[in-house]
Amino acid sequence: MRFDEFAINEGIEGTLRVLKHYDMIPNFHIKTSGNGESVHLSSRKWVRARSGGVFCPCLLNGRSFKKDQILGHISDAFGNNRKAIKAPFDGYIICINNKPIVSKGDALFHIGK
């Protein structure tokens, strides 16, 4: 429900690079915000909530992670019980659910490896 400026800029820059590659736009320098390296993801998966509650991610879009690293937490309404959401494999975060209240089965992270 919020705009992610980093993701928007990466999408625009990627589109401009493709257009430049196919000679569809003039050959000019495209300013990039990242390190300029592409990452090829061969598979992807949604990590879903195993229970409902208040969702708090620990990582940002585009970041890498290691297997069993904590990606975020889901806690009850009072903050007493907190369950960690762990990464099932090494990979990168493609998208994060920005809604703080989640139900069981809701998509939390779109990840790829």
2-51 pLDDT, tens digit each: 787 888 888 888 888 888 888 888 876 666 655 667 788 999 999 999 99
Taking only the tens place, the pLDDT of each residue in 51-76 is: 999 999 999 988 999 999 999 999 99
The alpha carbon dihedral of 93, 98, 102, 105 has a sign of negative
Residue 16 has, within 13 A of its CA and on its CB side, a CA count of 14
CATH for the stretch 39-113: 2.40.50.100
- CA torsion 33→18→98→39, rounded to 10°? -70
Enumerate the domain spans of the chain.
Answer: 1-38, 39-113
